[in-house]
Amino acid sequence: MNLEQIQKLESQLLLSTYERYPVLLHKGRGVYVYDHKGRRYLDLLSGIGVNALGYAHPALTRTLAQQAKLLVHTSNLFYHEYQARLAAALTKVSGMDRAFFTNSGTEAWEAALKVARAYARANCPEGQQPKWRILALEHAFHGRTFGALATTHKEKYRAPFEPGVPGVEFVKFDDVDDLEQKFDATVCAIGFEFIQGEGGIRPVSKAFAEKAHALAAKHGALLIADEIQSGLGRTGRWFAYQHYGIQPDLVTVAKPIAGGLPLGALLASEKVSGCMHPGMHGTTFGGGPLACAVALQLLHTIERQRLLKHVQKIGAYFLRRLQELQFKHDSIREVRGLGLMLGMELKSADLAKTIFKQMLERGVVLNRTDETVLRFLPPFILQKQHVDHAIRQLDEALAKNTAGLALTAEKRKQ
Ligand SMILES: Cc1ncc(COP(=O)(O)O)c(C=O)c1O
């Protein structure tokens, strides 16, 4: 079937929840994906932050093929050899103590919210009402299931499904005063992305993160870090919170963890883990042997190939090249991010839409988030020549669409 036939069929048969790019993908190799006609695209989005080792990485495909022949699914009624080994690898790099495996990011976040409520209940003095309020941040994105949705800020995601899960309040992004005002002894948890992804690649400040940590400790509430997009090496460290020197009580991971197979995890401190008992939470598929074996291979490969160092270096180079573009083009408002989690905020949503589309036509995949921000989440194996190519294409696309603005930038330099 060709693209048009598939588009027609999907429009008749699928719930219309997605606005897909008009590209029919066929295969991927390294940092490139290929469409059904063999056209090559440089992928700077990696399946929205999933394909950290690019496409068809030999170590991952080998493990995938070997494990598929042995055991794909067991249910969580049985033991298999990979959950505990993966938990050991994850707890080692995160400084956490225990893991619960899920199928997706939203389920990991859902598990975190449930644990936060269970922890508050388990630690509530007799005769008192358990703490139950949850604080989240404006512009946050934590997923699409009901609990996650309640902590996701954008009105357009929540409004069609109201009433949502009660007890959630949003704190103004990075606003320490607002945080202090809303944080009291009725709060059981504060959860946030140390670097917001969907919200436009926005890091919280050290002052805000430290205040959240201190207030959580003061009120016996939990600090939950959503590392679903930023975690497992994307920012050049295993986790974004490690740039801040803060150890959360709960951490959620997903996206890159199993090389594209559906897997997520909630990581918990020992202090918190004691509130969970058999039957309180579970999943049929989460943490199956195939996904866990591949995830273990992914973590080993990141370590073996010293990819964290590489992400730091290539990320700094990419950021510098984006900053050079910013100097040249008045249409760029800001460039920000860490490692290979980068954003370029343009002066208008229309321009961001146009540039994103034209980049796709030019054979470079990226996306637009928070209306005006071009987002880059490339595979960790990205090299300088790929960055240079992307920058050339961006430079040309910006110049073509903002001739007047580029001119003023030139004038400014004279
Ligand atoms: C920070 C963050 N949290 C949660 C999610 C939800 O993950 P999933 O789409 O796997 O449910 C996402 C997805 O983009 C995310 O970026």
Q: Which residue's CA is the closest to the ligand 1 atom numbered 16? A: 229
Does residue 105 have its Cβ closer than 6 Å to ligand 1? Answer: yes
pLDDT at 409 exceeding the cut of 80:
no
DSSP 207: H
**Coil, helix or strand at residue 240:** helix
Residue with tokens 């370029």: 344
Q: What percent of the chain has pLDDT over 70?
A: 97
Does residue 254 have its Cβ closer than 6 Å to ligand 1? Answer: yes
Pocket test for ligand 1, best of 17, 102, 229 (most atoms within 8 A of CB): 229
Query: Measured between alpha carbons, how far is 112 from 116 in angstroms, rounded to an integer?
Result: 6
Pocket test for ligand 1, best of 106, 234, 239 (most atoms within 8 A of CB): 106
pLDDT for position 212: 98
Does residue 229 have its Cβ closer than 6 Å to ligand 1? Answer: yes
Average pLDDT over residues 230-258: 98
CA 228 / ligand 1 centre spacing (Å): 6
Does residue 106 have its Cβ closer than 6 Å to ligand 1? Answer: yes
pLDDT for position 403: 74
pLDDT at 263 exceeding the cut of 80:
yes
| Token pair for 384 | 């300088």
| Token pair for 196 | 């917001």
pLDDT for position 100: 98
Best CA proximity match to 259, nearest among 82, 83, 62, 99? 62
pLDDT tens digits, one per residue of 340-381:
999 999 999 999 999 999 999 999 999 999 999 999 999 999
Atom index in ligand 1 nearest the CA of residue 230 equals 1
Does residue 152 have its Cβ closer than 6 Å to ligand 1? Answer: no
pLDDT at 414 exceeding the cut of 60:
no
Give me the DSSP letters along 69-130: HH-S---TTS--SHHHHHHHHHHHHHT--EEEEESSHHHHHHHHHHHHHHHHHHTPPTTSPP
CA 393 / ligand 1 centre spacing (Å): 29
Strand 222-226 versus strand 250-253 pairing type: parallel
Cα separation values, 408 from 285, 334, 413, Å: 56, 17, 9
Does residue 198 have its Cβ closer than 6 Å to ligand 1? Answer: yes
Quick check: 141 and 153 in contact, CB under 8 A? yes
| Token pair for 298 | 């992914």
pLDDT for position 276: 98
Q: What torsion, rounded to 10 degrees, do the Cα atoms 88, 91, 92, 95 define?
A: -160
The span from the first CA to the last CA of the chain, in angstroms, equals 55
Q: Which residue's CA is the closest to the ligand 1 atom numbered 4? A: 142
Q: What are residue 267's DSSP bridge partners?
A: 99, 251
pLDDT at 28 exceeding the cut of 90:
yes
Phi, psi of 39 (to 5 degrees): -70, 135
Cα separation values, 327 from 313, 321, 322, 387, Å: 21, 10, 9, 17
* Amino acid code (one letter) for 284: T
Does residue 141 have its Cβ closer than 6 Å to ligand 1? Answer: yes
pLDDT at 159 exceeding the cut of 70:
yes
Give the pLDDT band of residue 412 (cuts 50, 70, 90).
low
Query: Measured between alpha carbons, how far is 34 from 366 in angstroms, rounded to an integer?
Result: 15
Model confidence, pTM: 0.97
| Token pair for 78 | 């049985």
Best CA proximity match to 57, nearest among 287, 258, 234, 318? 258
pLDDT tens digits, one per residue of 166-196:
999 999 999 999 999 999 999 999 999 999 9
Does residue 147 have its Cβ closer than 6 Å to ligand 1? Answer: no
